[in-house]
Structure 1
């Protein structure tokens, strides 16, 4: 699978742009702020129905205009598929595949799998557990549509249970039967999600370790551990045991919404003790493992987006990474960099000829 062409209208800093793309490596070069990353985000939109960087759709509309439109033509096993996304201010986002509009955006997820590697990914390491759960959910959702449905159901039930706990605290009226109904709903979807996350981590860990060893040259020992309250006790028992605590806190304190991933390097917490280079290598290995997992589960190669990844990686690691992603195991790749000569030098050294696009103030050549 690869993206043959893309068109942007009033998207971020682009008034209008259309690109014919290569099935191999595509590089966007230009100064900071020129719009290189915005092109990657447009591709992300077409694959996953949303921006990688900003959850507010209306903020993607170019200043001074009332709508944006994105169109992409994908080649999927020799068959062309047209994907279009449009948004008018104060209206619902429209998403179409082959001119047919989706009733639910979730139906699109997984048709055109994609992996993005960006400097913003450091939030997976340094921010709270929500970022790490989002990473897990992003990967599994692209391979299992039922998982996304269960996740939507769980989050809805969690909001309802939390609202009930707040009402109980505000009014003093405790309805154990209604709380039990919410418990059962939460447990039903929560157990499915937990099972799928556990199964995912069992398959994902060996692939992650393999990628990290390659990128680091076996320089460090890393560990990635899945942590969940449900690993120690079943969900229904946890909810009952923590009823009084939940009433006091006015929220659900136990469940798969508390799951986390623990990252370490040489036995030390990556968040506190990992260097910038180690953190970057860790994140790249994490995303490459995501790529491998998607490829194995989908049966074809996802699109890989590499946004400004050369900073903070030494020359040796850059060369190893580019050798890896330019190998036949990988499909279409998009790279951004401020330095065109660096792109040319890196790929000349490994015998790969990329399609290079010069980006300047929202125009592409």
Structure 2
């Protein structure tokens, strides 16, 4: 799989851009702030419908423009697919495949797959749990695009349940004595109705949440061996890297999952329902959902110590890079084809040994896109491919 051509219209700093690409290594050189990362960000957006730099779409549209257009010609097994995205902040984005409009933009997912490593990935090691949850979920979608719908459904359930907990909190906190129905005050009826509605949302969350949790656990089980190998190769076997899953289920279930157990889907649904029941009073007091995949974390460890807070800067970089390279190898194994590998401003942060080892690991990938402020930062093993010079939003062959 590779991108043969990229077209941009009013994307970031580019009014227009037409960029021919091909298999092998392509390097974009230029000083910081000239638009190198914008190019690979656009390719990543075609694959994931999201940016690795910002959470919202508005910054992706050139200042003064109403929308941005990103088009890419993707080649797979000798067949070409034209993927087109229209990014319109404040309105629904639109998508086309081979010029045919799609009902939902997420229907383009799977047409192009990328693995992108950038300086922002240090947040995988040093940042909040939300960064690591996003890593898992994004990889799930790259692996099987249908998980985008499951993740969207789960987010809706949590949002609706939180809204109920907040709006009905005063009613839910009322207790009072049990009375026969004919002698029950109106507020007791209100509380009974609110509790029934909460029970319904508990069922929804336990079902959709169990699906997402099951998928994450299976993904992590499959990713683990690739992570260990990738970290060893990048860091020359300096330490044992591994990842475990910390979930918000009750203590006994959480311990089993942290030890590597992957319960079946019906059992996970029951565990979620049971855990929700145990924290219901706390949720009512706080007005927020305390159990579910949105509260979980991926615990990264080097040997017996957590990477967060203990890993050096170099070890953190190696761990983040190991996660991305492991993702690449997992997708390569699953799909029987290479995703596009993007290395955004990576080599400047690596010492000579890590640069050389990384070059050796990616030299056989079908398409590698590299950005670098200084061309000499790119190892000689990768320096023979196509090169472009980027300056003030203009791209020209180097």
Which category describes the TM-score, using the shorter chain as reference length? over 0.9
Cα distance, 1:88 vs. partner? 4.3
Question: Structure 1 residues 107, 88: CA separation in 2 closer, same or farther (over 3 Å shift)?
Answer: closer
Do 1:225 and 1:261's aligned partners in 2 also have CA atoms closer than 8 Å?
yes
Does residue 261 (structure 1) correspond to residue 298 (structure 2)? The answer is yes
Render the CA deviation track for 1:15-34: whole Å, top value 9, x for unaligned.
22111112110100000001
Map of 1:190 onto structure 2? 209
Render the CA deviation track for 1:152-201: whole Å, top value 9, x for unaligned.
11111111111111122144542221111101111111111111111111
Cα distance, 1:351 vs. partner? 7.2
Do 2:83 and 2:108's aligned partners in 1 also have CA atoms closer than 8 Å?
no
Map of 1:156 onto structure 2? 156
Q: Which piece of structure 1 moves more, 334-343 or 243-252?
A: 334-343
Cα distance, 1:90 vs. partner? 4.3
Distance (whole Å) between structure 2 residues aligned to residue 10 and residue 176 of structure 1: 50
Map of 2:197 onto structure 1? 178
Question: Structure 1 residues 316, 136: CA separation in 2 closer, same or farther (over 3 Å shift)?
Answer: same
Cα distance, 1:110 vs. partner? 2.2
Does residue 237 (structure 1) correspond to residue 274 (structure 2)? The answer is yes
Q: Secondary structure at the match of 2:388?
A: strand
Render the CA deviation track for 1:295-325: whole Å, top value 9, x for unaligned.
2222211011101111331101100101110
Map of 1:355 onto structure 2? 386
Render the CA deviation track for 1:2-48: whole Å, top value 9, x for unaligned.
00011112111112211111211010000000100000111112112
Distance (whole Å) between structure 1 residues aligned to residue 88 and residue 217 of structure 2: 40
Q: Secondary structure at the match of 1:311?
A: helix
Distance (whole Å) between structure 1 residues aligned to residue 146 and residue 65 of structure 2: 37
Distance (whole Å) between structure 1 residues aligned to residue 282 and residue 83 of structure 2: 48
Question: Structure 1 residues 184, 325: CA separation in 2 closer, same or farther (over 3 Å shift)?
Answer: same
Q: Give TM-score, length-normalised by structure 1.
A: 0.94
Long gaps (5+) in structure 2: 173-189, 255-267
Provide the aligned length of Structure 1 versus Structure 2. 359
Q: Give TM-score, length-normalised by structure 2.
A: 0.86
Cα distance, 1:60 vs. partner? 1.3
Cα distance, 1:249 vs. partner? 1.0
Do 1:49 and 1:95's aligned partners in 2 also have CA atoms closer than 8 Å?
no
Distance (whole Å) between structure 2 residues aligned to residue 7 and residue 309 of structure 1: 24
Do 1:222 and 1:267's aligned partners in 2 also have CA atoms closer than 8 Å?
no
Map of 1:278 onto structure 2? 315
Distance (whole Å) between structure 1 residues aligned to residue 225 and residue 25 of structure 2: 27
Distance (whole Å) between structure 2 residues aligned to residue 101 and residue 275 of structure 1: 48
Map of 1:203 onto structure 2? 222
Render the CA deviation track for 1:79-128: whole Å, top value 9, x for unaligned.
11111112346432221111112212222222211111000011112221
Does residue 340 (structure 1) correspond to residue 375 (structure 2)? The answer is yes
Distance (whole Å) between structure 2 residues aligned to residue 195 and residue 228 of structure 1: 11
Q: Secondary structure at the match of 2:349?
A: coil
Distance (whole Å) between structure 2 residues aligned to residue 86 and residue 180 of structure 1: 40
